[in-house]
Structure 1
Amino acid sequence: MISEKVSLGTINPIIPTDYPDPDVIRVGDVYYLASTTMHFFPGCEILRSYDLLHWEHAAYVYDKLDSTEGQCLSNGENIYGKGMWAPCLRYHNGCFYLSFCANDTQKTYLYKADSINGPWKKQYIDGFYHDGSILFDGDRVFIAFGNREIKLVELDSELKGPKKGGLQRVLLRDENNPRLGYEGCHFYKINDRYYLFLIHSLPDRWMRTQNYFMATSLEGEFRGGELFCDDMGYFGQGVAQGGIVDTPEGHWFTMLFQDRGGVGRTPFLLPLRFKGANPYIEENGKLPSEIEICNTNPDHKYLSLTGSDDFSKTGKISNTEDGRVTTDAAFDSFGMRSFWQWNHQPEISLVKVDTRKRELVLSTDRICDKFDQAINTLTQRMTLPRSRASVIVNASGLKVGDRAGLGILCEEYCYLAIEKTDDGKQLLLISKENGDEVVKYTQSLGDEESYVFRVDANTYAPVGNATVFWKKLSENEFKPVPFSKSLQFTLAHFVGCRFALFILSMKNSGGKVSFSDFKYEVY
């Protein structure tokens, strides 16, 4: 265990990509962080750290939720801007608990596991608990939740629903804020006092602030106020909403997030201090210039949260003695590297990783004419301040009417594709603008089957931009496509922009595309 002082200016944001609504706990000398994953599968990613500064993938909680038409992108349905959000992660009596609500199903889910790696057992909590936060208090258990009106409900011992005759009350109201009332509950008991940490917006302008309220009993009045109001020098975007955690040495921190434009919502680590029982972040109106961090495993080598993939391995490892299938820690249960997520719940029978040829092969089984309705679209988060993705696309398996390539997934998406036509293959750039798909560039292609596509994304400003390139596999230099795409965060998807590998069939299903040598760079 090593303690070191670190400048705040060099560690924020802690994770320069889209991990919103962070809830963080410590179990022994290990920290875990759960985050919103919305419509992506596998879902509810949990990260691991030994120093609160560096994070790596630890687990996904589920491969599927309820397999609804929306979750599966079936019959024109989707769950963009919905799905799971604002998870609560707890560890109690040797068991991990993970709860969240899903706004497409209007249900509250609870998963339990003895190990962070699972298996996670699913159940429901009767009721819909927006931004719910669970508190274990002796032999009683409670959930605080809500928007504008923050409520408390005592749950039964199995966390299946409200306890008959249990405590239910309103803790706070913030109904007159014209922008955002209190929400984003994080609920704790520290030294016999009860703490609520919440966000809301300044009433006179849009800016998130972090707030706290404290009471000496669950029946008592919760009092408090603003805890942190600062944009950390970034375009008036406040830093707020997240959990708190203590270190083995007894220091406290809070993990909040900030809207960072097209890249999404990025976590920030801030020191949390106490004057008596009252928490505070700033000292004399300013953040301390440095904080002391305790590293409980200084020799640990962290896996990257984004990365390149040559598709030479899968994570499904057969155990020949008893036939079990296990998963390498760097991979998910679908066999993909953990930094990949499918746009919605995948139809995994249409996916093949050919480790001999080092290819990812995606096939179609339905007709689709929109990029954001294509199943089995494989995505990665973009990274601040600039990130780049390139991939080899082999079009030999396309049918007439198929499009396949590299895209930017967001509400106003764009994609660069090879399209198979009656007259041969063409290069096609499509951009969604004001709700409509617009053809921005076309070019006839020759007899070659493989091409390399590249997207360069600049995501520092609230509205970033991306440029697109391509080349024949035999060529050395990329050719720029005369087009620039704006990158921004919107509520319709509620996540940052992502790189995406895809295929869609507009006339006949059954086509396939092969991807190889995916390269990811941060620059």
Structure 2
Amino acid sequence: MKKIAFLLLANLVFIFHLGAQNNKAENPIIYADVPDASMVRVGDTYYMSSTTMHMSPGLPIMKSKDLVNWELINYAYDVLGHNDELDLENGKSMYGRGSWASCLRYHNGKFYLSTFSATTGKTHIFITENLEKGAWKKIEFKPSYHDHSMFFDDDGKIYIIWAAGKLNIAELKDDLSGVKEGTEKVLIENASAPAGNNIMLGAEGSQLFKVSGKYYLFNITWPRGGMRTVIIHRADHINGPWEGKVGLQDLGVAQGGLIDTPEGKWFSYLFKDNGGVGRIPYLVPVEWVNDWPVLGEHGKVPETLDLPKSKGLIPCIVNSDSFERKKNERDLPLVWQWNHNPNNSLWSVRERKGFLRLKTGRIDTLFVQAKNTLTQRTIGPESKGATLLDVSNMKDGDVSGLCLLQKQYGFIAVKMENSVKKIIMVSAATGSEKELKSIPLKQNQVYLKAECDFRNQKDTGRFYYSLDGKTWESIGEAIKLPYTLPHFMGYRFGLFNYATKQIGGFVDFDYFNISDKISE
């Protein structure tokens, strides 16, 4: 009897422990491409900016009440500027470029959000009192300060720190219109030094913080044969002297900074390169020891965190869309981004109620050079996107469908060739487009689906079609979904339509549904 009672008690303890674990947040906190995070807390609300480079609108902003459940609330810009690369004109593009790592700061009741772009050659600063609704004041100046950190010091001076390996610092003008002449100097000669001499990536991704009167500078470096590593430098004065140490070296989780909670807990927000799904955010707990932030649990990234459990990325980071719009609703929810600056005369969610209409306006021969591809993030560990496509108004040579967008992209589409429609599956796995399969289509509506499997970095995608929305058929073959630097972004679901022979055709997408489960 005692043995039975003991076993019952042991089971109850195990179930209680399991329940407690199941109610904790898990790393990664966002299983999707949200790299280069910069974060601030205002009262009990956290705000985060990130990188989406070539996408438009750009420089996404998210908010959270618990550091785990994040919601897209705005973008800093609709378009960063106009040139052939940004506008996807004359065979040029900004894939993998556009705007890179941003810096989000809050000072005297205003939010300051800055980024830099080699594509424009400028540093861009956006200012508002309300990240969700406020009008943006925009400032831009040359040059483009790489991976910079803005910092508002207690004495009223405003600094910018930038570069890689040898880090530079300068004062910004009071109106933020540029650097004060004569203030630029080297801050740290070799910021990678704490990680050794054999460095593949010089310390970059600067983020500067001030805690209890001391300055803390976070960077990422990458020793050869090693992994992405957090470097932390500390100083009593912003001009130094600086002393540095390795802050974290585990799982390649690195690049980010510090955030505290209203209750006084500290965390470091970082990210990990995670294959085809992209660069995904992690949190690690921070303890303060001898005025140093000590990251992780015994130097390791924990699997669980003493924070609320995630409710999932749908609908706050990605979401399904019926394309139904009320009169005063925005045309596109924030989850959507165009592959480059769009041509707004060639798309509509108002012309046909409950549909996204994509029109052709020029001739393109390559999918990645086509404008107005409307995208959302894929999510891990698995996800699928599906749509119903009406191709009644295609013209000869038109290609329209559902893609998985990165450099080695794939897509399922309807192509009209010699007045005959067919379903095709295309892969760019070898570096150029290849049509792997085609099937005649004898109706004007077809259901399309793309599935991504990122489990254990399997990184594969498959495409399916259905003629009735019930029975699905696989088409072509599974494609690898590798993360490539030319695009520098996780794979994206995308809806597209482009012309190869004549303009004036259009297609209508009835909906886009996204799910965190796949069929296989």
What is the TM-score of this pair, normalised by structure 1? 0.89
Partner of 1:49: 64
Instruction: Tell me by how many angstroms 1:77 deviates.
Output: 1.1
Instruction: Tell me by how many angstroms 1:376 deviates.
Output: 0.6
Which whole-Å CA distance do the structure 2 matches of 1:287 and 1:403 have between them?
45
The answer to whether 1:458 aligns with 2:453 is yes
Which whole-Å CA distance do the structure 2 matches of 1:310 and 1:25 have between them?
34
Q: 1:8 to 1:165 in 2, by over 3 A?
A: farther
* CA deviations over 1:406-431 (Å, ceiling 9, x no partner): 11110011111111122411111111
Output the amino acid matched with 1:358: G
Partner of 1:322: none
Output the amino acid matched with 2:340: H
Instruction: Tell me by how many angstroms 1:463 deviates.
Output: 4.9
* CA deviations over 1:485-513 (Å, ceiling 9, x no partner): 10111100000001110001000011101
The answer to whether 1:75 aligns with 2:90 is yes
Partner of 2:492: 498
Instruction: Tell me by how many angstroms 1:286 deviates.
Output: 4.5
Output the amino acid matched with 1:130: H
The answer to whether 1:193 aligns with 2:214 is yes
Which whole-Å CA distance do the structure 1 matches of 2:110 and 2:21 have between them?
33
Which whole-Å CA distance do the structure 2 matches of 1:9 and 1:239 have between them?
20
Q: 1:218 to 1:285 in 2, by over 3 A?
A: closer
Question: Any residues of structure 2 matched to 1:114-153 within 5 Å, and which?
Answer: 114-117=129-132, 118-138=134-154, 139-153=156-170
Instruction: Tell me by how many angstroms 1:6 deviates.
Output: 6.8
Question: Any residues of structure 2 matched to 1:512-523 within 5 Å, and which?
Answer: 512-523=506-517
SS in 2 for 1:372: helix
Structure 1 unaligned spans of 5+:
232-237, 318-327
Output the amino acid matched with 2:500: M
* CA deviations over 1:119-165 (Å, ceiling 9, x no partner): 11211143221110011002101011111111111111111112134
| Deviant stretches of 4+, over 2 Å | 4-10, 125-128, 164-170, 174-178, 282-295, 301-304, 354-357, 460-463
More divergent stretch after superposition (219-228 vs 92-101): 219-228
SS in 2 for 1:200: strand
The answer to whether 1:23 aligns with 2:19 is no
Partner of 2:360: 364
Partner of 1:202: 223
8 Å contact from structure 1 (residues 126, 162) kept in 2: no
Which whole-Å CA distance do the structure 1 matches of 2:60 and 2:161 have between them?
22
Output the amino acid matched with 1:123: I
User: Which residue, 280, 283, 291 being the options, matches 1:277?
Assistant: 291
8 Å contact from structure 1 (residues 462, 488) kept in 2: no
Which whole-Å CA distance do the structure 1 matches of 2:305 and 2:24 have between them?
10
Instruction: Tell me by how many angstroms 1:291 deviates.
Output: 4.4
SS in 2 for 1:510: coil
Q: 1:361 to 1:449 in 2, by over 3 A?
A: same
* CA deviations over 1:213-252 (Å, ceiling 9, x no partner): 0011122221121111111xxxxxx000112111112221
Q: 1:435 to 1:289 in 2, by over 3 A?
A: closer
Question: Any residues of structure 2 matched to 1:147-296 within 5 Å, and which?
Answer: 147-166=164-183, 168-173=185-190, 174=192, 177-203=198-224, 205-231=225-251, 238-286=252-300, 291-293=305-307
Structure 2 unaligned spans of 5+:
1-18
More divergent stretch after superposition (403-412 vs 158-167): 158-167
Partner of 1:105: 120
Output the amino acid matched with 1:136: F
Q: 1:461 to 1:493 in 2, by over 3 A?
A: farther
* CA deviations over 1:403-456 (Å, ceiling 9, x no partner): 10111110011111111122411111111133211110012221x100001111
8 Å contact from structure 2 (residues 425, 476) kept in 1: no
SS in 1 for 2:101: strand
Instruction: Tell me by how many angstroms 1:461 deviates.
Output: 3.6
Which whole-Å CA distance do the structure 1 matches of 2:111 and 2:344 have between them?
28
Partner of 2:15: none
Question: Alignment length, in residue pairs?
Answer: 492
Which whole-Å CA distance do the structure 2 matches of 1:377 and 1:150 have between them?
38
SS in 1 for 2:395: coil
8 Å contact from structure 1 (residues 394, 513) kept in 2: yes
Which whole-Å CA distance do the structure 2 matches of 1:95 and 1:164 have between them?
26
Sequence identity percentage: 36
8 Å contact from structure 1 (residues 46, 57) kept in 2: yes
Output the amino acid matched with 1:386: E
8 Å contact from structure 2 (residues 351, 357) kept in 1: no
Instruction: Tell me by how many angstroms 1:482 deviates.
Output: 3.5
Structure (1/2) with the larger helix percentage = 2
Which whole-Å CA distance do the structure 1 matches of 2:438 and 2:323 have between them?
30
Partner of 1:485: 479
Q: 1:178 to 1:246 in 2, by over 3 A?
A: closer
* CA deviations over 1:312-340 (Å, ceiling 9, x no partner): 126x72xxxxxxxxxx6xx5xxx201111
Partner of 1:311: 323
* CA deviations over 1:318-373 (Å, ceiling 9, x no partner): xxxxxxxxxx6xx5xxx201111110011111111038631100001100011111
Question: Any residues of structure 2 matched to 1:429-440 within 5 Å, and which?
Answer: 429-440=425-436
Instruction: Tell me by how many angstroms 1:266 deviates.
Output: 0.5
SS in 1 for 2:276: helix
Partner of 1:235: none
The answer to whether 1:408 aligns with 2:404 is yes
Structure (1/2) with the larger strand percentage = 1
Q: 1:27 to 1:432 in 2, by over 3 A?
A: same
8 Å contact from structure 2 (residues 249, 299) kept in 1: no
Which whole-Å CA distance do the structure 2 matches of 1:420 and 1:7 have between them?
51
Which whole-Å CA distance do the structure 2 matches of 1:426 and 1:397 have between them?
14
SS in 1 for 2:85: coil
Q: 1:290 to 1:420 in 2, by over 3 A?
A: closer
Q: 1:146 to 1:7 in 2, by over 3 A?
A: farther
